Amino acid sequence: MRDNKWVRLLAYVTGLVNQRLLLQNEYLIAENRILRSHLPSRLRLSNPERSTLAEIGKRLGRRNLQLVASVALPDTILAWYRRLIAQKFDGSKRRSYPGRPPITPEIEALIIRMARENSGWGYDRIVGALANLGHRVSDQTVGNVLRRYGIPPVPKRSQKTTWQEFISAHMAVLTGVDFFTVEVLTWGGLVSP
């Protein structure tokens, strides 16, 4: 007799819980439809959002998804789940991708500085100077960086040297010529050796 009371009490409590869950679900469905009517016609979801909806949608099943889903069609959500499962076993997490690793912004700035300060240096010369500093970079990478910043190759770069750039590049030699010139008196007159 006592067990029978507990069974009835348990059935009553679970019935209340089920009623509450059903009402909450009904409310959430109505709220989602109202919110969906205020949004643009197509939502852009990120991959984590798609995977979350796909995992929950798979547990719900196609029939229940048709009642609830408002962001995408049930077939689309289940396709997201199939793609999620396929990615789990395709080995892409262990795959290494081809190509050289990207260079750091510091090395890129150094390449640009070398090219601007030394208009006669080509790609190979810049690569050699970087190797002397301990950086391993290919000449193709140097060319790509210079192209990205609009710096032309050596023949065109050296033709566009302004007087200000020329004088600033040769200032040490010019000051040496001005201050350390010695004229010598010979039979032919004053001569600079």
In three state form, how does the secondary structure of 123-160 look? HHHHHHHHHHCCCCCCHHHHHHHHHHCCCCCHHHHHHC
What does the pLDDT average to over 161-173? Answer: 76
Q: Which residue has the higher pLDDT, 76 or 92?
A: 76
What does the pLDDT average to over 102-125? Answer: 89
Q: Buried b / exposed e across 146-172, counting CB within 10 Å, b at 16+?
A: beeeebeebeebeeeeeeeeeeeeeee
8-state DSSP, 187: T
pLDDT at 126: 93
pLDDT at 86: 86
Tokens for 106?
Answer: 């510091």
Considering the entire predicted model, what is its pTM?
0.40
Could you tell me the sign of the dihedral formed by the alpha carbons of 113, 115, 116, 119, in that order?
positive
- pLDDT of residue 79 exceeding 70: yes
Task: Tell me how crowded residue 145 is: count the other CB atoms within 10 A of its CB.
Answer: 21
Instruction: Please report where in the chains the tokens 């852009």 appear, as a residue.
Output: 44
pLDDT digits (tens, 9 = 90+) for 15-63: 666 777 777 777 887 888 787 778 777 778 888 888 888 888 888 888 8
What does the pLDDT average to over 126-145? Answer: 92
Longest dimension (CA), the chain: 142
Nearest alpha-carbon partner for 78 in 51, 48, 45: 51
